[in-house]
Amino acid sequence: MTNTHEEAALPLTLTPPVVVAVGAIDFQLRVLEKLGRLEAKMDMIVGNGQPGRMTLAEDRVVALEKSDLRRTIYDRLITAAITFAISGIITWHDHIRIR
């Protein structure tokens, strides 16, 4: 890589400008503030020694799954009973004289 006249003319400084340092501090403060808010939200979701929203949601899902399983069994039993009744009526319609 060759040096051009423009590169040689630029003065080399070892300390960055003060404006950049102030900007970096503001950036660090904003990042720390956002991390604090993120930590508070995570504690609220997961729960900080108390059941959090996720734990409560998981409990509700388990209860709904049990209810859904029970309802599915009842639906199958009712469907089987209706099917059995219709099959019986079709089979016996001549004997019972249902038209």
What's the CA gap between 38 and 57, in Å, rounded? 20
Tokens matching residue 42: 């995570």
What are the tens digits of pLDDT across the range 3-35?
Answer: 555 555 555 556 655 555 557 788 888 999 999
For residue 52, the tally of other CB atoms under 10 A from its CB is 16
Give the domain ranges of the chain. Answer: 16-48, 51-99
Where residue 56 falls among pLDDT bands split at 50, 70, 90?
Answer: confident
Token output for 79? 């469907």
Question: d(Cα 59, Cα 66) in Å, to the nearest integer?
Answer: 11
Average pLDDT over residues 62-74: 85
Token readout for 11 is 């003065």
pLDDT digits (tens, 9 = 90+) for 74-98: 888 999 999 999 998 888 877 776 6
Integer Cα distance of 2 and 10 in angstroms = 15
- Residue 47, number of CB atoms within 10 A of its CB: 14
